[in-house]
Amino acid sequence: MKIFPAIDIINGECVRLTKGLAENKTIYSKSPVEMAKIYQDKGFEIIHVVDLDATLGKGNNDQTLELIRNNIDIKIEVAGGIRDKAAIQKKINQGFDIIVIGTFAIKGIEEVSKFENDILEKISVALDLKDNKIASHGWQQTSTDSLESIVNIYNQLPIHSFFVTDVANDGMLSGLNMPTFESVKKLTNKKITIGGGVKDLADVQMGQENNFDHMVIGKAIYENKFSLDDLIKFNA
């Protein structure tokens, strides 16, 4: 299982939200670029970077994202407010390796399904699960489409992966809600990235033992629930 350390950005600062709510924001002292360098130096092969301002429709952090990309050599998975083909292509052209789309993947599913394979192969479809429904628009709305119907469509396309977040547990340090992630795993053979609620190394081990492909970890790192030296041991 690959570990993707998370960098969430608001107004150029490295932050973490609780349950995706901007009012539940904690600002951390390290700059996003410096955090990215730390993760690279510790041996992580890919980081997960989210532009929360773009997610919430409050501008963007394009300059900070470019600084991160230009200052590290490891792969970057990027997310946040990427809601049309032009935005996806722009991120690919800027050198980002995996492009996470959520709202666009659900609301624009017919358009996305017609993308060229070389674009689809870089897309991770975000399945942000809230009360067993798919959340969108910065987790402020829920889709009427069933989880199974969405997954079945993307199973037919050469996407990179599904990125499953347990919205209720995100930023809560409350532990993994494994049934949420298993609900997607039983529907697909695609790679799955999981995130939301990791509180300790036992959670990381649980994800590994349940054969998930990638795990995004944010708040547990910033709150020093374990060291990066211990975490990197799970990166296989």
**Which DSSP helix (H) or strand (E) runs through 166?**
strand 161-166
CATH code of the domain in which 78 resides: 3.20.20.70
Overall residue count recorded for the chain in this entry: 236
Strand partners, 100: 124
For residue 143, the model assigns a pLDDT of: 58
For residue 22, the model assigns a pLDDT of: 60
For 202-222, the pLDDT digits (tens) are 999 999 999 999 999 999 999
Rounded to 5°, the CA angle 47-9-108 comes to: 80
Judged against a pLDDT cut of 80, whether residue 66 lies above it is answered with: yes
pLDDT-derived band at 170 (thresholds 50, 70, 90) equals low
Mean pLDDT (whole number) for 121-145? 75
Q: What are the catalytic residues? A: 8, 128
Could you give the dihedral angle defined by the CA atoms of residues 13, 18, 24 and 30, in that order, rounded to the nearest 10 degrees? -20
Do 206 and 176 meet the contact criterion of CB atoms below 8 Å apart?
yes
DSSP annotation of 158: T
Mention every residue, 6+ apart, whose C-beta is less than 8 A from residue 133. Answer: 142, 143, 147
Per-chain mean pLDDT for the chain: 90
Global confidence as pTM: 0.92
Domain containing 94 equals 2-234
Judged against a pLDDT cut of 90, whether residue 29 lies above it is answered with: no
Number of domains in the chain: 1
